[in-house]
Amino acid sequence: MTNSAPSDKALVPFVSVDHMMRLIHHIGVEDMLRGLADYIEADFRRWQLFDKTPRVASHSAEGVIELMPTSDGEVYGFKYVNGHPKNTADGLQTVTAFGLLADVASGYPVLLSEMTILTALRTAATSALVARLLAPENATTMAMIGNGAQSEFQSLAMKAICGITEVRLFDTDPAATQKCARNLEGLGLKVVACPSPEDAILGAGIITTCTADKQYARILTDNMIGAGVHINAIGGDCPGKTELAPGILERSDIFVEYPEQTRIEGEIQQLAPDHPVTEIWQVLTGQAPGRTSQRQITVFDSVGFAIEDFSALRYVRDQIRKTPLCHMLDMLADPDDPRDLFGMLQRARP
Ligand code: NAD
């Protein structure tokens, strides 16, 4: 028997960067952020079902490369992601990613997707989902400290999901702030470029830190933070890389995705290993309180967890069923006789 063309079951949908951008424009950025937040929330509500492990990290002086796997028993997923703060100086992204979903029953991949843009969307959707639980009532202003690749996504998610109407921008590089302000123009937010982080946090109910620097940074110092704010701390996400002064953490109630990973990578690596934290899934399912008073400082110590990527890939898989924005990839060998892999190779000899 010959085997020239792969069968449909061996073809894997691949969502390229171009397809992802077309999908986002087809759905609309804010609708997609809301859709992703719904999928993430649905998966956090069934937290116990998932295989969970801290991500597998390979560190170097320049950055980190990580694999983030999980499974709900029916579908398996993983993401490959890097974090290289110095990349932007060479014209490269700090964070790039791709991911895969597979059918647990057969082990066959069912989706391969770019995830650089999708990670920015899922991180922003998670931030806003959490801020909806924890931000002070009637918060309409967010400070956005760090105006790099994630910043517009973070701003738009807070608008779409939490009703934020004003963002106050600060970055040590004014060109990043100008870029962010320009990109947000006409998207329904009041945008204020600020000369200092102190200025950026004026009147902000939500403070997002999203900087990239591999050190124990002090983007927010203890004396900057008064009662009642919600801090969405995104950038501290690997050992030796944090953004908040420990004094802020000591005065705050801290909320995390998966403590086993956050204690290694998050802001709380600066605290005792048994410092109390609340898991977001517990708040979402009513098993733990979120914000309990208007004076409380809440911190979402975000590092990014595999289940969020799984949810994002699940969302994309469901969307491309409606809008065929993908290539079908011939990436699984598919001999007519499953045991005749070598025969298939022989028959393909030129
Ligand atoms: P980026 O390099 O595009 O942007 C980072 C910005 O921070 C730059 O514009 C830089 O000038 C600015 N910056 C550096 N030090 C600063 C300081 N002291 N004060 C103000 N601004 C400062 O990176 P990005 O893709 O936007 O990612 C930002 C961070 O978020 C990275 O550290 C990344 O690892 C992290 N991240 C976390 C998650 C998560 O799930 N928690 C997801 C994606 C990215």
Domain extents in the chain: 8-117+307-347, 124-304
Residue with token string 């899934």:
281
pLDDT over 90 percentage in the chain: 95
Token couple for 201: 């946090």
> Is any atom of ligand 1 closer than 6 Å to the C-beta of 267?
no
198 lines ligand 1 (CB under 6 A): no
> What are 188-226's pLDDT values in tens digits?
999 999 999 999 999 999 999 999 988 999 999 999 999
User: Which pLDDT does position 9 carry in this prediction?
Assistant: 73
pLDDT digits (tens, 9 = 90+) for 82-93: 999 999 999 999
| pLDDT at residue 73 greater than cutoff 80 | yes
- Starting at the edge strand found earlier in the chain, the sheet holding 109-114 runs 56-59, 64-71, 75-83, 97-103, 109-114, 11-15, 327-330
How many angstroms separate the Cα of 87 from the Cα of each of 83, 119, 161, 235?
9, 17, 31, 15
Q: Whose CA is nearest to atom 35 of ligand 1?
A: 235
Confidence (pLDDT) at 1: 38
Q: What pLDDT is recorded for position 323?
A: 85
- Is it the case that residue 177 has pLDDT exceeding 70? yes
Reported confidence tier of residue 302, pLDDT bands at 50, 70, 90: very high
User: According to the model, what pLDDT value does residue 296 have?
Assistant: 97
Average pLDDT of the residues of the chain:
96
Structure tokens at 251: 């005065």
- Check pocket membership of 160 for ligand 1, CB cut-off 6 A: no
Categorize the per-residue pLDDT at 106 as very low, low, confident or very high, splitting at 50, 70 and 90: very high
Q: Mean pLDDT, to the nearest integer, of 286-297? A: 97
Q: What is the mean pLDDT of residues 73-78?
A: 98
Phi, psi torsion values for 320, nearest 5 degrees = -75, -10
Q: What is the largest CA-CA distance in the chain?
A: 75
CA of 121 relative to ligand 1 center, distance in Å:
15
Q: Are 8-117+307-347 and 124-304 in the same CATH fold?
A: no
pLDDT of 131 reads 98
Look at residue 13 and tell me whether its pLDDT is greater than 80.
yes
Provide the residue type at 53 as one letter: T
Whole-number pLDDT of residue 2: 39
DSSP code for 82: E
Asked whether the predicted pLDDT for residue 3 surpasses 50, the reply is no
Question: What's the whole-model pTM score?
Answer: 0.96
- Evaluate if residue 67 carries a pLDDT over 50: yes
CATH architecture, domain defined by 124-304: 3-Layer(aba) Sandwich (3.40)
**Residue 213 Cβ contacting ligand 1 at under 6 Å:** yes
Is domain 8-117+307-347 classified as CATH 3.30.1780.10?
A: yes
Which atom from ligand 1 is nearest to the alpha carbon of 217? 18
